[in-house]
Amino acid sequence: MSAEGRGPLFTLLIVAGGLIEGFGLAYSGMARPEVVLDFLQLEDFGLLLVMGGASVVAGVTFFVATRWLDRAPLTGRSYTRRVKSLDRNVVTGGLIFGVGWGVSGICPGAGYASLGVGNYVILWAIAGMFVGAYAQGYWRAYRSDAGADAVSAD
């Protein structure tokens, strides 16, 4: 098994987790942008139950695993919480994501699930997400190149 644990069991684990998550996203209505927009227009607060319910389950799992379990069986990784550094990007990104979510009513995971329920029109949104992800990568590469030039010029 490689360091990242890429055996067949690992793939099976990803498939199982993805199936369960996709099922849940469709069951909860999040695969329908209309339902998300109903929340964002303050007409139906169900989305809070989806996000809240999922966070509680994930939170309890993280708590139990980080406290009482040793290492993940399929990768040998130690269990950690999801903590990323708070910087300006987190703020800027959150604001841009918010505008996009408010305009479209779709986020990445729900978009994939939406494809699964046969909503092929959602390909517009998924294509958009790839364009957006590429654009920010391109912009960052350009900026860091410019930054490197400035440094070497000194």
Contacts of 70 by beta carbon, 8 Å cutoff, 6+ apart: 78
24 CB-contact burial (10 Å; exposed 0-12 / middle 13-18 / buried 19+): middle
At closest approach, how far in Å is the CB of 21 from other proteins?
3
Q: Does 48 bind other proteins (CB under 8 A)?
A: yes
Q: Measured between alpha carbons, how far is 17 from 30 in angstroms, rounded to an integer?
A: 17
Asked whether position 1 contacts other proteins by CB under 8 A, the answer is no
Binding residue for other proteins, selected from 121, 147, 148, 149, defined by CB under 8 A? 121
Question: Per-residue x/- mask for other proteins, residues 53 to 82, rule CB under 8 A?
Answer: xxxxxxxxxxx-xxx-x-xxxxx-xxxxxx
Q: Give the binding-site size for other proteins (rule: CB under 8 A).
A: 123
Taking the complex as a whole, the smallest distance from the CB of residue 153 to other proteins amounts, in Å, to 20
**How many angstroms separate the CA atoms of 50 and 58, rounded?**
12
